[in-house]
Amino acid sequence: MLPLAEEMNHVARHVRTCVECGNLDMQDKCSICLDGRRDHSRLCVVEDVSDLWAIERAGIFSGLYHVLGGTLSALDGRGPAELGIDRLVARAHALQTSQDSQPEVILATSATVDGQTTAHYIAERLEIAGLKITRLAHGVPVGGELNYLDDGTLAQAMKARTSL
Ligand SMILES: [Zn+2]
């Protein structure tokens, strides 16, 4: 137990927020931001660090992240300043252009009313020439059966259908 307790103590004392993306790490800039092998032309916007980790765990994205720390919420008094939207806009301007891809910002906020309101607001703020803005698809979960889905999810899935 003692080594574990000491390790947790060490982490608790030294963990800090990345000055670039808002991820948690033991250094000022996190290992994702410092990794030159990652795709520096893509930025994935997430609400929380746990969302970043979920995407990393899935191994489906090799670009950079931007952690908002929540969603816009008038009720909770969280506005654009609290979410660091200006910093996000500056980072979007600074995305690298590579030969085979144009810079892209992926809005991976939750499929909640607040999450989608935040995504729409950010999309409006990111009207930058040559910047592609995408968001995660909403619809049928893998392994999900249609007759168990709610109407809203089914409607989104129908709207976001793709060609085979
Ligand atoms: Zn970082």
Give the span between the Cα atoms of 142 and 16, in whole angstroms: 35
Query: How many whole angstroms from 32 Cα to the centroid of ligand 1?
Result: 6
pTM of the model: 0.89
Query: How many whole angstroms from 62 Cα to the centroid of ligand 1?
Result: 13
Query: How many whole angstroms from 33 Cα to the centroid of ligand 1?
Result: 4
Per-residue pLDDT of 64-120, as tens digits, reads 999 999 999 988 888 999 899 999 999 999 998 867 778 999 999 999 999 999 999
Query: How many whole angstroms from 156 Cα to the centroid of ligand 1?
Result: 32
Query: How many whole angstroms from 25 Cα to the centroid of ligand 1?
Result: 8
The candidate with the shortest Cα–Cα distance to 18, out of 33, 29, 26, 4, is: 29
The full set of domains in the chain, from first to last, is 38-159 (3.40.1360.10)
Q: What torsion do the CA atoms of 84, 86, 88, 89 make, to the nearest 10 degrees? A: 170
**Measured at the alpha carbon of residue 132, what is the angle toward residues 134 and 70, in degrees to the nearest 5?**
45
